[in-house]
Chain A
Amino acid sequence: MLRYTFNRLLMMIPTLLGVAILVFFLLRLMPGDPVAMMLMGDGGANVPPHVLVEERARLGLDKPMYVQFLKWFGGVMQGDFGYSMWTGKSVIYEIGIRLELSMQVAVMATILAILLALPLGTLSAIYKDTWIDHSIRMFSIAGLAVPSFWLGMIIILLLLSNFAWIPPLTFTPFFEDPWLNLSQLIWPAIAVGYRYSSVATRMMRSSILEVMQEDYIRTARAKGVYERLVIARHAMRNAMLPVVTVIGLEFAFLIGGLVVTEQVFNLNGIGKLFVQAVARGDYTLIQGLVLLVAVFFVLINFFIDLLYGLLDPRIRYR
């Protein structure tokens, strides 16, 4: 297991380096001069050319590309992602104050997806081709089609007309008032979690159907194990593997869903920050955010692989 972990860890290095290079050079292709944009703002006030040159020198933008990259990458390695060109605060600070909110919604959506997918997928498989199966499948196919931001709007619409609820303007941290916090965040979690649970439900269904064909299920039945236990202990456990993968892979979608859904619920999270940064052309911030999201995603996949190795020892030997 240690060797497997180590090998997987080594494989991550070229990917992460590639991610950093891609992010850096992609953003250098951005049209417009960020210094001019920063100093002149939207008004287009006249700034003397020598000030622009000085500012460029101060930010190190007059150096060759590879020097800029090495300087930036060296900083990133030490946890210094630079400063937002718009607010002047450090990128880490800007992300830090918003991370808790986005992470909480993401985690809640994941829990919701797992809680829904495991029983629904299993039920759908056991009662294959009955009305139970048909309705669960319709529910999950619909989940793939409904855009999360629209679902969010519909939720707001329903809450508004039935309970006069509007998305709150400020976010209450969990430890300040858990109840208020959950009542605020459950709705965005449902909006982004629906698609997530649908994908997992479909995977769980096909996985259970596959596992039920295995010899050990027949053996368990033959030795007289209750059907309930056959399903819970033999089928569900073995069907979990692909579901775990899909939940990990869909985490990327979840982050994407959050980018849009945070706008709808007026949540000041990572997604909203990202959209703002793009709108303002704040490229140190975009750079930092995209890099962090990608690193996070690579790490998630790494842990999924480890979990895979733990759940199915055969994989470690490959």
Chain B
Amino acid sequence: MNTAAVTITYKVPVRRHPVRLFITQQPLGAAGLIIIVLMAIAAMFAPWVAPYDPLAINYNAMLARPSAEHWLGTDSFGRDVLSRIIYGARTALAVGFLASFIGSTIGAIVGVVSAYFGGKTDMVIQRIMDVILSFPIIVLAITVVAVLGKNIVFGLDINLVIAIGLPMVPKVARVVRSSALAIRELPYIDAARTAGFSHLRIIFRHILPNVVAPYLIMLTAFVAQAILAEASLSFLGLGVTEPTPSWGLMLSGAAADFYEQAPWMIVFPGLAISLAVFAFNLFGDSLRDWLDPKIKL
């Protein structure tokens, strides 16, 4: 044993706001977050931000090159591409967030229920999740869209949201389940049981709040995928339909007929999709590193 006196100096940690902490520790993630916030603001205040009405047809300015009047040019109906991209952000973010939120939330509940009850319940739920996992995301989404058809609520196709959210359920369930399995064994769950709380209360009040980290990580990661899925479905003519501005839709149909005359019709909406997905990936990755680096997606 070393008997020499040891002086330990403690550095009193300065309490900082978690957002500021995130920004200083994860600069790349913060950059992603800034892009996301800017996009969200542009989408929310689209009528004030966009220079033109996205639906206004102008036959005098068909296929106009990018210029001072139309920064990103116009499409074959003379509609302003920039305005359509700004309004398209509404569709992309709304569908992306909502699909990811619904998919991750259902997935988290399924995962926790599966872990909490264990045994046969767990087995059955896991087999069902395996079945859903056997379908590639787009294939499952297209099938669900075909089966459910359209159901517009508040200008948003809720069935499209379900179709995109459904394939996420088993993936989130799997990750959340493994976190919940560890929590189930902790003493405070036993304590809650001893106190005679109902299963529902234990699940919602004691386990779910403790799997928030994996839930948030999956949620942000899936927003990116949901945006991609919405763009793909709309591109195929199975998602958002004309005249609603959507990035995927802008790339389909007429855009391909004007490869040579109007390349801006193809380049800019695609850049918008890429930028949005890129920002969410960057933010999601950093959030994972920050909250829980062990989680594999």
A residues whose Cβ falls under 8 Å from a Cβ of B: 14-15, 18-19, 22-23, 26-27, 29-31, 141-142, 144-147, 149-150, 153-154, 156-157, 160-161, 252-253, 255-257, 259-260, 263-264, 274-275, 278-279, 281, 286, 290, 293-294, 297-298
Whether A154 touches B270, Cβ cut-off 8 Å, given contacts A15-B127, A15-B134, A147-B232, is yes
Partner of B135 from A14, A27, A294 at Cβ < 8 Å: A294
B281, A145: Cβ atoms closer than 8 Å? yes
Interface-central residue, B132, B146, B237, by most chain A CB under 10 Å:
B146
B143, A29: Cβ atoms closer than 8 Å? no
B270, A19: Cβ atoms closer than 8 Å? no
* CB within 8 Å of A: which B228-284 residues: 228, 231-232, 235-238, 248, 251, 255-256, 259-260, 263, 266-267, 269-270, 273-275, 277-278, 281-282
Contacts of B278 in A (CB 8 A): 141-142, 144-145
B134, A19: Cβ atoms closer than 8 Å? yes
A30, B147: Cβ atoms closer than 8 Å? yes
Is B139 engaged at the interface, CB distance under 8 Å to the other chain? yes
* CB within 8 Å of A: which B5-51 residues: none
| Chain A: minimal CB distance from B21 (Å) | 23
B residues whose Cβ falls under 8 Å from a Cβ of A: 127-128, 130-132, 134-139, 142-149, 224, 228, 231-232, 235-238, 248, 251, 255-256, 259-260, 263, 266-267, 269-270, 273-275, 277-278, 281-282
Known: A15-B127, A142-B274, A278-B145. 20 other contacts (CB 8 A): A18-B128, A22-B131, A27-B143, A27-B147, A30-B147, A31-B147, A141-B282, A145-B277, A147-B274, A150-B273, A153-B270, A154-B267, A255-B138, A259-B138, A260-B235, A274-B142, A275-B238, A290-B135, A290-B139, A294-B139
| Chain A: minimal CB distance from B16 (Å) | 26
Contacts of A15 in B (CB 8 A): 127, 130-131, 134
9 shortest interchain CB distances as A-B pairs: A256-B138, A150-B270, A18-B131, A145-B278, A252-B136, A145-B277, A294-B134, A256-B136, A278-B146
**Could you list 15 A-B pairs, sorted by A, with CB under 8 Å?**
A18-B131, A19-B131, A22-B131, A27-B143, A141-B278, A145-B274, A147-B270, A153-B255, A154-B267, A256-B137, A257-B138, A259-B139, A278-B143, A278-B238, A294-B134
Whether A293 touches B277, Cβ cut-off 8 Å, given contacts A30-B147, A154-B270, A157-B259, is no
Contacts of B147 in A (CB 8 A): 26-27, 29-31
With both beta carbons as reference points, the residue of chain A lying nearest to B281 in the complex is identified as A144
Contacts of B235 in A (CB 8 A): 149, 260, 263
With both beta carbons as reference points, the residue of chain B lying nearest to A279 in the complex is identified as B237
B274, A14: Cβ atoms closer than 8 Å? no
Is chain B's interface secondary structure helix, strand, loop, or mixed overall? helix
A64 to B173 CA separation, bound complex (whole angstroms): 34
Partner of A253 from B136, B146, B256 at Cβ < 8 Å: B136
With both beta carbons as reference points, the residue of chain A lying nearest to B282 in the complex is identified as A141
B138, A297: Cβ atoms closer than 8 Å? no
Contacts of B274 in A (CB 8 A): 142, 145-147, 150
With both beta carbons as reference points, the residue of chain A lying nearest to B146 in the complex is identified as A278
Contacts of B248 in A (CB 8 A): 147
A274, B270: Cβ atoms closer than 8 Å? no
A294 to B136 CA separation, bound complex (whole angstroms): 7
With both beta carbons as reference points, the residue of chain A lying nearest to B229 in the complex is identified as A256
A144 to B130 CA separation, bound complex (whole angstroms): 25
B139, A150: Cβ atoms closer than 8 Å? no
Partner of A298 from B134, B146, B255 at Cβ < 8 Å: B134
A202 to B270 CA separation, bound complex (whole angstroms): 23
B134, A255: Cβ atoms closer than 8 Å? no
| Chain A: minimal CB distance from B293 (Å) | 11
With both beta carbons as reference points, the residue of chain A lying nearest to B144 in the complex is identified as A26
Contacts of A18 in B (CB 8 A): 127-128, 130-131
